[in-house]
């Protein structure tokens, strides 16, 4: 069977649209998801993934034939053995993405299509980058990261909202800071390599416990922390993993963190796959980054507005929440 476990299901309690721009098959047995929601920016690489949610169909599929047609021109085709592919549109206009699910003898078992638009790179950002490159001084810190933030990810971090609304823009700024830092610390290619390794581990090749030590996806989400935030059932109060604080002493934290990751690895297989996929797709990754931040704020600084989190006490609260996010949660001494 070519359809891997990691592409065999939608996360429980989530829709395809929660993961990215999507097209669901008429029979509901498969779904095509685009990492980036149109309009896409020209010459920006995007990733497409097919989730085959029907076991019978999954058992029949042996390969995937991808077709990319820009502005009604000649199709560009490629075949993959797993349900994911990268594509970089070359022209402004329309892009039709089609994937055929092929069985034995290349017989078609199903197909999915997604119509997208392609536009130019953000002109204001390109002007700023060009000016920075042509002038002495620090300049643009990392043009490629800035292009990803503005052209690819901005619809996602701009759409993140609090469960309980509050005044000010502190929450939005905090989320953006983690998106920015995540993209800067682990560029897109490195993130994809990590996702490939985790997917391989979940499909039986690799050490999931070791790989789960690092944050996943654009915001660097710790899968164990995500499991402590997400409920087992919709609207429930019992998380997938119980809230577990790690010692704030490095040599003690190493062992405690390994034990926590072992508890994560001992979860039912579908739980682990769902946590991975939620962190895998940029849209759900950024949305859940916001949910984790809100959970950490409510647990450790309940009643504090995110504006005060960022500015009050010289930013001490923001520093602690960031540490909980990246390393913990931690026991506060």
**pLDDT 10s digits, 82-131:** 999 999 999 999 999 999 999 999 999 999 999 999 999 999 999 999 98
What's residue 141's pLDDT?
73
Three-state SS annotation for 283-300: HHHHHHHHHHHHHHHHHH
**What pLDDT digit, counting tens, does each position of 40-84 carry?**
999 999 999 999 999 999 999 999 999 999 999 999 999 999 999
pLDDT above 60 (res 217): yes
DSSP 8-state assignment for residue 151: I
pTM for this predicted structure: 0.95
Q: Where in the chain is the domain with CATH 2.60.40.10?
A: 5-119
What's residue 332's pLDDT?
77
**What pLDDT digit, counting tens, does each position of 276-328 carry?**
999 999 999 999 999 999 999 999 999 999 999 999 877 899 999 999 999 99
Confidence of residue 136 (pLDDT cuts 50, 70, 90): low
Residue 44 burial class via C-beta count within 10 angstroms: exposed 0-12, middle 13-18, buried 19 and up: middle
pLDDT above 60 (res 137): no
pLDDT above 60 (res 138): no
What mean pLDDT is reported for the chain?
Answer: 94
Say if domain 5-119 classifies as CATH 2.60.40.10.
yes
């Amino acid at each position: 069977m070519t359809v891997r476990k990691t592409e065999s299901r939608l996360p429980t309690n989530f829709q395809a649209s929660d993961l990215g721009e999507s097209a669901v098959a008429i029979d509901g047995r498969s779904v095509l998801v685009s990492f980036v929601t149109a309009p896409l920016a020209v010459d920006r690489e995007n990733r497409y993934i097919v989730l085959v949610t029907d076991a019978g169909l999954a058992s029949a599929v042996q390969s995937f034939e991808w077709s990319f047609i820009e502005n009604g021109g000649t199709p560009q085709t490629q075949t993959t053995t797993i349900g994911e592919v990268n594509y970089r549109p070359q022209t402004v206009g329309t892009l039709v993405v089609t994937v055929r699910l092929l069985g034995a003898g290349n017989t078609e078992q199903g197909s999915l299509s997604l119509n997208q638009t392609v536009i130019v790179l953000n002109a204001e950002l390109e002007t700023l980058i060009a000016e920075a490159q042509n002038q002495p001084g620090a300049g643009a810190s990392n043009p490629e990261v800035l292009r990803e933030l503005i052209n690819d990810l901005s619809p996602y971090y701009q759409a993140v909202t609090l469960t309980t609304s509050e005044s000010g823009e502190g929450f939005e700024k905090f989320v953006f800071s983690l998106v920015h830092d995540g993209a800067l610390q682990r560029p897109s290619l490195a993130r994809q390599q990590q996702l490939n390794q985790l997917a391989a581990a979940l499909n039986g090749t690799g050490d999931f416990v070791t790989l789960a030590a690092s944050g996943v996806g654009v915001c660097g989400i710790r899968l164990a922390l995500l499991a402590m935030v997400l409920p087992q059932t919709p609207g429930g109060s019992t998380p997938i993993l119980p809230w577990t604080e790690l010692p704030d002493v490095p040599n003690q934290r190493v062992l405690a963190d390994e034990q926590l990751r072992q508890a994560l690895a001992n979860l039912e297989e579908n739980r682990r796959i769902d946590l991975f996929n939620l962190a895998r797709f940029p849209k759900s990754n950024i949305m859940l980054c916001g949910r984790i931040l809100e959970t950490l704020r409510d647990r450790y600084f309940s009643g504090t507005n995110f504006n005060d989190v960022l500015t009050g006490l010289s930013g001490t609260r923001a520093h602690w929440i960031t540490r909980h996010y990246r390393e913990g949660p931690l026991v506060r001494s």
